[in-house]
C-alpha cells in the first residue's frame, strides 16, 4: 500500500525514458510548511493535489450498495466511477469513508460500517489505488460527530469508543430525535481526541491526498443535547459561544493531527453556503477558519442555490465567499447538481450546473459537484453531464 521510495524513483526514471509512456502526474502539490520528517519521506507517496480543483462528491448513498456486494464487485464498480469521473473532466474525488462513526477500512478506533455484507474488506485501499491510477486526487470524507441509529449502536463492540460511550457515557454520545441518529458531543475532550486520531490513522496508513469534512457540526440547538457537558465545561459562558469554540477546537485538532502525520496532506471543510446558518444553527465559526491559520487548507461552501434564489442568489453569495477568503484560504465552491431533479429553477434552466461551474472557476480555486449519482440516470442528467464535461474540458491546463 505504502510504496517503497526506491521503487517509486525507479518508476519515475522509467517513465522519463519513453515519451510514449503515460507521464507520471506529480503536479500542483502544495509546498509543505517546515521540514518533512524522515519517516514521512520514507513512505514514498507524494500527495497529488491540483491548483484548480474540479471535483465530485461520492457519498455513502452511492457506496453502500457497492460495499454490500463484496470486494471484487466493489473494486470493479469503483474503478468504473473513477474512469467515468476522469472522462467527464474531474481531477479530484471527495469520497465518504466514514459517515456514521464507522470505517470502510480496518481501523483500531472505529467499527466496520454496517454497509458491508457478508465480506468485510479494505475499501479505502481499493479506492485510493483506483483513483490514483486515473490521476485523480483522493480526499477522504468523514462526518466527525454523526453516529449510527440506536439500534445499530447497541450492536457495536465496547472495544470501540463509540460503542462503549453509547452504553456507558451518554454525555459523550446521545440520541438526537430530529436526525434519527446518535451524535458525539464535541465539548468532551476525549471525543475531539478520538476524531483527530481517527483522521491521523487514515493519513498514516493510506495514500490519501486530503481529509475532508462537511457541515455536520452541532445537530440541534436544543440545550438538552449537552446539559451535562455544559455543566462540566461551560463555566457559565454563553452556550452558543461555548459551542462555537468547541467546534473550533474540534477542527483545529483534526488539522493538527493531519499535519503531524504529513504536512503535505490537505484538510478542508465544506460548510453551509448560507454564512449565517453556520453560526445560528451549527455553531461553526467559518469566518475564523477562513482567515486564521491552524484550521484548514481550503474551504468549500455548499452554494446549492439558483441564480434567482430569493435568500441567497448564487452569484451574489459566491462574491461574499470570494471576499471572505481572498488571499487567506483556498476557496472551492460546492455546486448542487442533484437539484436538477428537484428545484424549479434548476429543472427549467438547462446547463445551469455548467454555468455555475464556469462562474466558480473564475476567481476561485475550484468547483465540487454534489453528487456523482446525480449525473446519471435520466435524459436530463445525461444532457447536464455533457454540458458539465464540456465546461470542465474547456481549459485543459486547469487539470
The residue among 8 and 348 whose pLDDT is bigger is 348
Q: How do residues 232-241 score in pLDDT, each as one tens digit?
A: 999 999 999 9
Spell 180-202 as b/e; 16+ CB within 10 A means b.
Answer: ebbbbbbbbeebbebbbbbbbbb
Task: Evaluate if residue 40 carries a pLDDT over 90.
Answer: no
What pLDDT shows up at residue 29? 37
Q: Is the pLDDT of residue 248 over 80?
A: yes
Q: Looking at the predicted structure, is the pLDDT value of residue 36 above 70?
A: no
The Cα angle at residue 382 between residues 378 and 385, in degrees rounded to 5: 135
Per-residue confidence (pLDDT) for residue 396, from 0 to 100:
66
Assess whether pLDDT exceeds 50 at residue 26.
no
Instruction: Report the pLDDT averaged over residues 236-262.
Output: 97
Over range 148-164, report the average pLDDT: 98
DSSP letter at 220 equals: -
Q: Is the pLDDT of residue 34 over 90?
A: no
Confidence of residue 17 (pLDDT cuts 50, 70, 90): very low
pLDDT tens for residues 188-197?
999 999 999 9
**Average pLDDT, stretch 63-70?**
98
Instruction: Give the per-residue pLDDT at 397.
Output: 55
> Percent of the chain at pLDDT above 70?
88
Tell me how far apart the alpha carbons of residues 229 and 234 are, in angstroms, rounded to a whole number.
Answer: 7
pLDDT digits (tens, 9 = 90+) for 272-305: 999 999 999 999 999 999 999 999 999 999 999 9
- pLDDT score of 64 more than 80: yes
Among 33-42, 259-268, 300-309, 376-385, the minimum mean pLDDT is found in: 33-42
DSSP per residue over 119-163, as a string?
A: ----HHHHHHHHHHHTT-EEEEEE-SSB---HHHHTTS-TTSHHH
When pLDDT is averaged across residues 370-385 and rounded to a whole number, the result is: 97
Alpha carbon 244 to its chain's center: 21
Average pLDDT, the chain: 90
Q: Where are the domains of the chain?
A: 52-145+185-398
CATH number (3.40.50.10860, 3.40.50.300, 3.20.20.80, 3.40.190.10) of 52-145+185-398 reads 3.20.20.80
Q: Locate cell 514514498: which residue?
A: 44
**CB atoms near residue 221 (< 10 Å):** 14
Q: What pTM does this model have? A: 0.90
Residue 55 DSSP SS3: strand
Residue pair 337/370 in contact (Cβ under 8 Å)? The answer is: yes
* C-alpha count within 13 angstroms, C-beta hemisphere, residue 282: 19
pLDDT at 44: 83
Q: Per-residue confidence at 42, pLDDT binned at 50, 70, 90?
A: low
What pLDDT is stored for residue 60 in this prediction?
98
pLDDT at 345 over 70: yes
Q: Is the pLDDT of residue 18 over 70?
A: no
Q: What does the pLDDT average to over 85-109?
A: 98
Q: What is the pLDDT of residues 119-138, one digit of tens each?
A: 999 999 999 999 999 999 99
Amino acid at each position: 500500500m505504502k510504496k517503497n521510495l526506491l521503487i517509486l524513483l525507479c518508476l519515475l526514471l522509467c517513465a522519463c525514458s519513453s515519451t510514449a509512456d503515460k507521464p507520471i502526474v506529480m503536479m500542483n502539490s502544495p509546498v509543505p510548511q517546515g521540514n518533512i520528517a524522515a519517516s514521512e519521506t520514507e513512505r514514498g507517496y507524494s500527495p497529488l493535489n491540483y491548483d484548480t480543483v474540479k471535483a465530485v462528491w461520492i457519498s455513502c448513498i452511492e457506496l453502500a450498495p457497492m460495499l454490500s456486494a463484496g470486494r471484487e464487485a466493489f473494486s470493479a464498480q469503483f474503478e468504473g466511477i473513477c474512469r467515468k469521473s476522469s472522462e467527464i473532466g474531474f481531477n479530484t474525488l471527495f469520497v465518504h469513508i466514514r459517515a456514521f462513526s464507522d470505517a470502510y477500512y480496518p481501523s483500531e478506533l472505529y467499527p466496520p460500517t454496517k454497509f458491508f455484507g457478508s465480506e468485510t474488506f479494505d475499501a479505502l485501499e481499493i479506492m485510493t489505488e483506483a483513483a490514483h491510477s486515473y490521476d485523480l486526487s483522493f480526499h477522504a470524507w468523514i462526518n466527525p460527530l454523526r453516529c449510527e441509529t440506536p439500534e445499530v449502536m447497541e450492536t457495536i463492540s465496547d472495544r470501540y469508543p463509540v460503542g462503549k460511550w453509547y452504553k456507558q457515557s451518554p454525555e459523550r454520545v446521545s440520541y438526537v430525535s430530529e436526525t434519527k441518529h446518535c451524535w458525539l458531543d464535541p465539548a468532551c475532550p476525549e471525543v475531539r481526541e478520538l476524531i483527530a486520531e481517527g483522521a491521523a490513522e487514515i493519513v498514516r496508513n493510506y495514500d490519501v491526498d486530503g481529509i475532508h469534512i462537511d457541515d455536520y457540526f452541532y445537530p440541534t440547538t436544543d440545550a438538552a443535547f449537552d446539559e451535562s457537558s455544559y455543566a462540566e465545561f461551560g463555566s457559565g459562558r454563553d452556550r452558543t459561544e461555548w459551542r462555537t469554540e468547541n467546534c473550533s477546537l474540534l477542527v483545529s485538532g483534526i488539522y493538527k493531527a493531519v499535519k503531524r502525520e504529513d504536512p503535505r496532506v490537505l484538510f478542508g471543510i465544506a460548510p453551509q453556503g448560507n454564512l449565517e446558518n453556520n453560526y445560528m444553527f451549527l455553531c461553526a465559526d467559518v469566518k475564523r477558519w477562513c482567515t486564521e491559520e491552524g484550521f484548514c487548507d481550503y474551504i468549500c461552501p455548499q452554494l446549492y442555490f439558483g441564480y434567482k434564489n430569493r435568500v441567497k442568489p448564487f452569484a451574489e453569495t459566491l462574491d461574499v465567499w470570494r471576499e471572505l477568503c481572498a488571499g487567506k484560504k483556498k476557496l472551492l465552491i460546492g455546486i448542487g447538481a442533484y437539484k436538477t431533479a428537484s428545484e424549479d429553477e434548476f429543472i427549467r434552466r438547462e446547463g445551469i450546473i455548467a454555468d455555475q461551474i464556469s462562474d466558480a472557476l473564475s476567481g476561485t480555486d475550484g468547483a465540487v459537484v454534489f453528487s456523482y449519482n446525480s449525473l446519471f440516470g435520466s435524459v436530463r442528467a445525461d444532457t447536464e453531464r455533457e454540458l458539465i464535461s464540456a465546461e470542465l474540458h474547456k481549459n485543459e491546463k486547469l487539470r
